[in-house]
Structure 1
């Protein structure tokens, strides 16, 4: 197995050089670039950076949204032994200036002239930044001293390679798993960004284990919608590269069309996207005739009942105690009767739901959700209509992957068992390990755990123990069969005046099951009782008012 992502790209290009690596929307079609061409681009930019005087150990900012030049720049920076410092184009000028300065970046790739102008007022405060490279092909400016077009850097590198320069190849092949690959800034509890240091080994971990875990093959087609600098999306793209799959770049505006156009087999996204899809389906159903609405909900409830019965018979309901196990065991006879009685209607339901499944392109076989808790009602809905969501759990500090449901035999309302080589312990506030079923703080140890926070020894010591255990600050509990369930954030716990501890997330999720509520926030710290701040879904409320004759 490769020791770094640039070497993983080299190996994939050797095996699958003619296969599509990434695809970008070009009119009504996706334009692909194959792995051989991708490797050539990465080495060209890497050689250009070396010719400009950058090299091993340098930190280089990477400010952009999803685009081909993002992954090329990312891998090129790693290729020369540098560490990139990524951020999205929606970041404020103040935030970018702080991150670039704190990370000791000596150069920056920016998406377009807008990002360049955003940084220009801070030039005087960033004397260490010797070059700013603009990705947008429409940018033809640059003074050749501090600002450069991306194409000019690439051309510079290609010229060096044409003359036989192969320094980029030599550095790439010398990279080790413990070498720093990236510094990703994430907001702390005080709002001050902390730089998470991840090594090549951290980043490669998921690429190494996901392929056999989920059965990913070179034939798979990924559809990308998350920001590339987001650790979940980044690891998704790395997994695709390591396996020889293709990744097509989409966005929220064109997602529905892109699903039909690309027909992805793998779709990795966050709960908010699944909630959005669920809401649109509910909205469409609410506008149907009374008979169609009744039929849909009848088929949905039948499918939910049958899916639950199947889970009980296959021991796939989350059990946190012997009492839970005994209860599920006692329900097996009823479950068999339910499946027998509802079998014809269940088959009809799945046939009718084919129209919903086809909206994902009709070829989806791995649907992954991460980056937050998937609401239980959304999870149950997609399970009922025949779209199995593989929910996972992880943090930026763990290079995304910690636990994930298995595609075969997923346990709903959990994020699955630990990933290979990963240890998970649930501990109380004093650090004592708790048995399955009891809620506590999630601690993690494994090859994906970060090196620490950049230039922040105090926060590193608070979060990471000397023997490699990471305190996530998240609350959770383990099932008797080894699955992890996330229950909230330790610092979000509300303590009422009477001393009662309340976890707000389950209550907020329950409130948001209403089609008429967009967001909910539970409050009540040091009060006698709880309260809730509600943000209504304006469109849903307006539809309800119109249907009810309310002006």
Structure 2
């Protein structure tokens, strides 16, 4: 795999294959800041529809020319109302064309936005507004404004913009304007250009910290521009290609993908969970940015349709899927893309080639009778789906490969803007997170000694490149902990690299748990809440790349035995214990014990300040061996060694989520 030296750090270490793939695309490598993109895009793709929200009332359709005009008007309005370069503005809103207009309008005015969903918990939003030092607030609607209003007088907020067309409160001491009013003000003024450099701060994205308090990730224009310039090495959309947008637009993942796709003239269609099935068929997208849970739901929907077929049809479908699974496995071996056998021998390749040739006609028949009909449910013209925010389950990955829908899995964190790695369509190594995107370096080190490890050995994943954040806002201690003196960012993930530099993730070294819907969960505050239960002695949350949280629980046997006695029950841990004549014998697997712990978990988690539905603990397992220094599952500071516990109880955890 030949590397081509490129002076531009955005494209350092780009391969010849990648250079060929991007040579026909617009080149933004010399652009200093993100807002400079939009006039260039409008000039190139002016009459192409940029944003289309078919579910808005009324429906919203904006061409690239109109989008650029709206962004500049929003910026002009902010300047006319006193916003200065470098000001912080909290943008509290969800998916809509006006979110992008506000986001880029704020940056065009030279300000910095701190972003979060309007659905977020009130105290969290107020913390973000306060911590960011925001002097202005842009909110989705009047409801969101009222949610925060009574605490805003204690903060330096001078200006509020509603992204809705609702009439602002008449007698408010704050200056409050609707979207339409802001645009009217802008029409009477002229935009004052603000020169921003790549190293200027562009945005603050708040992510959970180890204490549960959000940390403001500082992303510069360099960070965001790197994504626009480097991601085309992975996927190459054309002007007018349709993209379906469903993920939260303020998330780093969806946000950077939107910037990238729009910079290349794509048409973005806004959808939602209620409408996505119909929108896939109606708008027939070429691309979709997804999290594993979304792809799982599509897979589960197809499986449900299969189960509703007549028995004979079900048998036929099962037969073809079985044949095709063997076919794609043989094809991977031939291409050297089997993660379990990256360097097959000549004999293994020949055997696999023979098997693939033999199975190919049946796979083609399955394509004709089954798979093309399944693809029709996605619109029938998907070039690639991009998956990130967690690991894609193997059976889902295999299924999409069988039916001919290319899934390109990417990897990264909010702190890395976020994409650092991605699978390419010409090297789609299933089970991996792909190779680094241009400009990105990966290093695997021993988590204790920080000594660099050779390819194939598992360790802590360190990352370096133009997309690494500037740091955590007003938190130098956390920044120093995350980024070392040589610029290496500690991802908190464990993994290894193949000889071809594909990254394979194996777990977490840090505490954060990422669910398949892309949500980051800090376990410590939830565990602390659960420990209030008298029946829980120790607890460790699990659930990385799962739909919901699970837990390993060491019960307080003394308290549990007293409870059992109060219920005229006898808790029997040892099989040779005999229940007394006046009591019933039970053990930890008994339904009554399981129900007790379910009630305890639900109560303590839901009573926790800042509770979110994703905090709910689904599956749990009671274990008898306490976590301790002696058995290697706790540190000298009595912190749980999560990766050690995960390894020790791997089979139990896997079984827990397989139920």
Task: Using the TM superposition, give the Cα deviation of residue 29 of structure 1 relative to its aligned residue in structure 2, in angstroms.
Answer: 10
* Residues 534, 159 of structure 1: alpha-carbon distance in 2 compared, 3 angstrom cutoff: farther
Are the counterparts in 2 of residues 59 and 104 from structure 1 also a CA contact under 8 Å? yes
Partner of 1:198: 219
Partner of 2:472: 453
* Residues 60, 503 of structure 1: alpha-carbon distance in 2 compared, 3 angstrom cutoff: closer
Q: Highest Rg: 1 or 2?
A: 2
Confirm whether residue 299 of structure 1 aligns to residue 320 of structure 2.
Answer: yes
Which of 456, 468, 474 pairs up with 1:437?
456
Quote the Cα distance in structure 2 between the aligned partners of 1:87 and 1:38. 22
TM-score, length-scaled by structure 2: 0.73
Unmatched 5+ residue regions in structure 1? Answer: 495-501, 513-517, 542-551
Describe the SS at the equivalent of 1:402. Answer: strand
Q: Output aligned runs, 1:4-83, within 5 Å.
A: 4-26=33-55, 31-83=60-112
* Residues 279, 28 of structure 1: alpha-carbon distance in 2 compared, 3 angstrom cutoff: farther
Task: Using the TM superposition, give the Cα deviation of residue 143 of structure 1 relative to its aligned residue in structure 2, in angstroms.
Answer: 4.8
* Residues 534, 143 of structure 1: alpha-carbon distance in 2 compared, 3 angstrom cutoff: farther
* Residues 131, 329 of structure 1: alpha-carbon distance in 2 compared, 3 angstrom cutoff: farther
Task: Using the TM superposition, give the Cα deviation of residue 27 of structure 1 relative to its aligned residue in structure 2, in angstroms.
Answer: 7.4
* Residues 166, 492 of structure 1: alpha-carbon distance in 2 compared, 3 angstrom cutoff: closer
Partner of 1:347: 364
Unmatched 5+ residue regions in structure 2? Answer: 1-27, 514-539, 551-616, 632-647
Are the counterparts in 2 of residues 6 and 78 from structure 1 also a CA contact under 8 Å? yes
TM-score, length-scaled by structure 1: 0.87
Quote the Cα distance in structure 2 between the aligned partners of 1:271 and 1:386. 17
Which of 493, 497, 500 pairs up with 1:474?
493
Confirm whether residue 166 of structure 1 aligns to residue 191 of structure 2.
Answer: yes
Partner of 2:407: 389
Partner of 1:399: 417
Are the counterparts in 2 of residues 203 and 235 from structure 1 also a CA contact under 8 Å? yes
* Residues 29, 416 of structure 1: alpha-carbon distance in 2 compared, 3 angstrom cutoff: farther
Per-residue deviation, residues 114-169 of structure 1 (Å, max 9, x unmatched):
1011101212322x111121111234545574222121111111111xxxx231xx
Partner of 1:313: 334
Are the counterparts in 1 of residues 55 and 271 from structure 2 also a CA contact under 8 Å? no
Describe the SS at the equivalent of 2:362. Answer: helix
Quote the Cα distance in structure 2 between the aligned partners of 1:493 and 1:106. 31
Quote the Cα distance in structure 2 between the aligned partners of 1:325 and 1:254. 41
Per-residue deviation, residues 410-446 of structure 1 (Å, max 9, x unmatched):
1000011000010001111221111111111110000
Quote the Cα distance in structure 2 between the aligned partners of 1:507 and 1:52. 45
Partner of 2:384: 366
Partner of 2:483: 464
Which of 248, 267, 281 pairs up with 2:302?
281
Quote the Cα distance in structure 2 between the aligned partners of 1:260 and 1:253. 14
Describe the SS at the equivalent of 2:188. Answer: helix
Quote the Cα distance in structure 2 between the aligned partners of 1:32 and 1:194. 35
Partner of 1:131: 159
* Residues 42, 526 of structure 1: alpha-carbon distance in 2 compared, 3 angstrom cutoff: same
Describe the SS at the equivalent of 1:46. Answer: helix
Per-residue deviation, residues 80-124 of structure 1 (Å, max 9, x unmatched):
111101101211111111110011011111111110111012123
Per-residue deviation, residues 3-42 of structure 1 (Å, max 9, x unmatched):
2221111110111111111111157996420111111111
**Range moving further from structure 2, 39-48 or 522-531:** 522-531
**Range moving further from structure 2, 438-447 or 115-124:** 115-124
Root-mean-square deviation (CA, aligned residues, Å) is 2.7
* Residues 296, 413 of structure 1: alpha-carbon distance in 2 compared, 3 angstrom cutoff: same
- How many residue pairs match? The answer is 512
Describe the SS at the equivalent of 2:231. Answer: helix
Q: Output aligned runs, 1:264-279, within 5 Å.
A: 264-279=285-300
* Residues 25, 452 of structure 1: alpha-carbon distance in 2 compared, 3 angstrom cutoff: same
